[in-house]
Structure formats: C-alpha cells, structure tokens
Amino acid sequence: MRELRQRFLLRLTTFITLTACFTLLTAGSLGLLNLVNVLSYWGEEIQITAYLSAEMAPTQIDALKERIKSDSRVDKVELISQEEALEDFRGQMASYAPDLAKDQELLSLIPSSLQISLAGRLGEPATSEQIEDVAKELRGYEGIEEVRYGQEWVQKYGAFLTLIRRGLFVLGVIVALAALLVVGNAVRASVESRRSEVEVLELVGATSWMIRRPFLVEGASLGFLSICSALIVSSVGFLFMKNLFKTELQFFQLSSHLEFLGPLQIAIFLVFGIGMGALASYLCVRRVNSGFAASGGQG
C-alpha cells in the first residue's frame, strides 16, 4: 500500500511539473500568436511617407512613382500633391488654430509626398526589416528629401518579435529537456520498483517489446495528460484575457483580434507531449532487459 501511494505521489508530482513546463510553452505560443495578430492589425496603418523636393516636375514625379511601384515589396504608391496636403492640413488645423491655417507662407512650406504601402504587414517576420530596406533605398532616390515611417516603432517591434520568437524557441528546447528528465525520472523509478517483475517476464519468454510497452505507455500517457492540461490551463487564461479586453480594456478594441491556437497547432502540441513522454521512457527502458536477465540468481 505504501509503495502504491508513493508511486501515485511520484506520478502526481511528475504530472504537475510537466503540466507547468508545457503550460509555459503553450501560453508562450498563444501569446506570440496573438501579438503577431495585434501587430499586423496595427501594422496595416504603417506606411512610408517620402517627401518630395519642391522642384520636381509632374513628369519626374510620375517616373519616380513608377520606379517605386516596380519594386516587388511595394504594394501601392499614392501621390499626395501639395494641394491635397494643404487641404488635409487645413482640415486638421482649422479647429485648433484658425489663424495658422490661413498663413499662406507656412502652408507653402508643406511639400507634396508619396504614400507608399508595402506588400507585407508588420508583425510578419520579415516586414520590419523590409520597411527599413525600402526606406533606405528611397532615401537614395533623387527628388526625395525625406523619408518617414515611424522608424523607432517599427524597429522596436520588429526586434521585440524576433526576441520573443527566439526566447520561445529556447524555452521549447528547455521544456523538452525538462520533460525528458522529469518523465525519465518517473519511469526509471517505475522500472526500479518492477525490476523483479521484468526479470520474471523475461524468464517466461516475454519479448523486449512486451516488457517495455507498459513503460512506454506510462510515459506517453503522462505526456498526453500533461499537454492536455497545459492546453486547458492556457485556454482558461486566454478566455480570461479576452474577456478583460472586452470589458475593462475595451479601449484597445483588440478582443476580436485575439484567437486561440488553431487545430494544427493543438495537434502539434499533442504530438509533442506524447512524443516527449514516450521518448523519455524509451531512453530509460532501452536497456531494461537485455535478453538475459542481468541479476544474479540464488545458491
């Protein structure tokens, strides 16, 4: 009875530890997924503005426009003429500073510009670097005075995403190792407590597969249960967060952009959990029986 209790306790602690490990991973992936979602939603607004020098003739502007458009990374190029820019500026300023809006001299300083939308969206892996590349090239073009695209914002979020992705990968590796250790430990204890049983099974002619199977099943089911409960824990956390964005953080208007892991990702996690459990057991029981019972006999 004590033995059974100990075995149960060991399995329980293994299950809890493994669930904690796996939850880190599922919650991390979920966070990343939604971060990318939110950023690409915000990222739609991101465009490059190229301010044109005042000396540009309309034909030159058209040529420049065509040249930029021919870049495969560029989706749309739109000319905001000086008049349109003025119009916009007036509209924006009229209510704040009516006097300023009438100052013709100041208004004439507003240049015409090209609004360039890129094909990708921010939040997708390559995009932030792409924006920078395109901006750099634009700076080199004749007739372009200045290029603006919210540099810092784009750079920071790009770097941030890369960091999170790398962190998640490292976390994945650590979790995999931890899972191997934790499950391996439980299975080894289980093998140890059943050593005499293994010996007898060998002696009546059980194949190594028959002997190992229960241990593999034990490891795989530990992995399966743990990854399931990790998914449940993260979905509960997810629903909580989503609800928070619906009520208290409604301001951000993000709740409709939050989504849970898709079926494919869930399947991958299930396979990962089961696989880690089974692999750990396999590594432990690979040498549990060698065909000849290893232990010594009696007098």
Partner 1 sequence: MIEFSHVYKTYPGPVHALKNIDLRIDKGEFVFLTGPSGAGKTTLFRMISAFDHVTSGQLVVANQELTQISSADVPAFRRRIGVVFQDFKLLKNLTVFQNVALPLKVLGEKEQNIRRRVPDFLEKVGLSHKSDQYPESLSGGEQQRTAIARALIHQPGVLIADEPTGNLDPRLSEEIMDLLEKVCAQGTTVFVATHDHEMVKRRNKRTVSIRAGELEGGR
Ligand X SMILES: Nc1ncnc2c1ncn2[C@@H]1O[C@H](COP(=O)(O)OP(=O)(O)OP(=O)(O)O)[C@@H](O)[C@H]1O
Residues that bind partner 1 (CB under 8 A): 196-197, 199-208, 210, 290-293, 297-299
Is the distance from CB of 179 to CB of 276 less than 8 angstroms?
yes
As a whole number of angstroms, the distance between CA 132 and CA 231 comes to 38
Which among partner 1, ligand X, none contacts residue 203 (Cβ within 5 to 8 A by kind)? partner 1
Name the minimum Å distance from CB 286 to ligand X: 24
| Of 174, 182, 175, nearest in space to 12 by CA | 182
Which of 140, 296 has the CB closer to ligand X? Answer: 296
d(CA 73, CA 131): 9
SS3 call for 119: coil
- The entry of partner 1, ligand X, none near residue 38 (CB within 5 to 8 angstroms by kind) is none
Shortest distance, position 298 Cβ to partner 1, whole Å = 5
Tell me the site size for ligand X, rule CB under 6 A. 2
Binding of ligand X by 140 (CB under 6 A): no
By Cβ distance, which residue is nearest to ligand X?
Answer: 296
Sheet of 74-80: strand order equals: 74-80, 113-118, 48-52, 144-148
> Is the Cβ of residue 83 or residue 197 nearer to partner 1 in the bound state?
197
Residue 150's contacts (CB-CB under 8 Å, 6 or more residues apart) are 46
Please tell me whether residue 129 adopts helix, strand or coil conformation: helix
- Among partner 1, ligand X, none, the one that 197 touches (CB under a kind-dependent 5 to 8 A) is partner 1
In whole angstroms, the minimum distance from the beta carbon of 292 to partner 1 comes to 6
Closer CB to ligand X, 72 or 290, in the complex: 290
In 44-150, alpha helices (H): 58-69, 82-94, 98-102, 104-107, 127-140
Nearest C-alpha neighbor of 13 from the set 189, 168, 170: 189
Q: Round to whole Å and give the CA distance between 299 and 283.
A: 34
Residue 140 binds which one of ligand X, partner 1, none, with CB within 5 to 8 A depending on kind? none
Residue nearer to ligand X on the CB measure, 205 or 297? 297
Instruction: DSSP letter for 210, please.
Output: H
User: Smallest gap, in angstroms, from Cβ of residue 292 to ligand X?
Assistant: 12
For residues 238 to 277, the per-residue mask of contacts with ligand X, x marking binding by CB under 6 A and - elsewhere, is ----------------------------------------
Minimum distance from CB of 203 to ligand X (Å)?
16
Applying CB under 6 A, which residues contact ligand X?
A: 296, 299
